Structure 1
Amino acid sequence: MAANNESGALQPITELARNSRAHGALCHCDAAQAAGRIPLDVRDLGVDLMTIVGHKMYAPKGIAALYVRDGTALEPLVHGGGQEDGLRPAPRTPPSPSRSARPHNRSDFVS
């Protein structure tokens, strides 16, 4: 977790990623609370994986992005179809990703 949503504490992600790599482990950063609030550059942070979520930036719930560093091998949790390079067993819902593609104003979600 890059930033704690309750205390506001920022974690030393660069140091944690460096330590993880030194011990042969991958480093995943949950940047849900940090994205759009503090600078996040995966190259500077040195993480292997980073997750951001759309609903923290006024996108519909269920929209998220996963950064995967080149060369990082992933294994599917559920086997099935070959979508998403064999990592997803079913196609995504077409309207959901397209909704997050257009910029939203806060007024879009307030009646």
Structure 2
Amino acid sequence: MARAGHGGVSAPCAINMTSPSIMTRGEVTLDEAAAALTLSQSTIRRLITEGALPAEQHCKGAPWIIRHADLEREEIRRQADLRRSRRPPPDERQPNLLDLSTA
């Protein structure tokens, strides 16, 4: 089993992410972690790659498995808040830079 930042195993494998054993162990998928932290999947992947969010991958290409308890940790919540605060607020006053209308 590969852990983030420790190199992966290249052998193919099949993991059933909806199996009761995974769900009862308190683990979530990358998609579920993104929804829980209100972040994009790409941001969750970056947090994993940077080592900020612990995750496991049974083999290269397999889904990331993240412990639900890790999503509740204060450090992870702070990281999520920091990432969300980087998003520029929508600005409807911004001029339309691509105005194709010719009157």
TM-score in terms of structure 1 length: 0.25
Q: Which has the larger radius of gyration?
A: 2
Structure richer in helix, relative to its length = 2
TM-score in terms of structure 2 length: 0.26
**Structure with the greater relative contact order (CA < 8 A, sep ≥ 6): 1 or 2?**
2
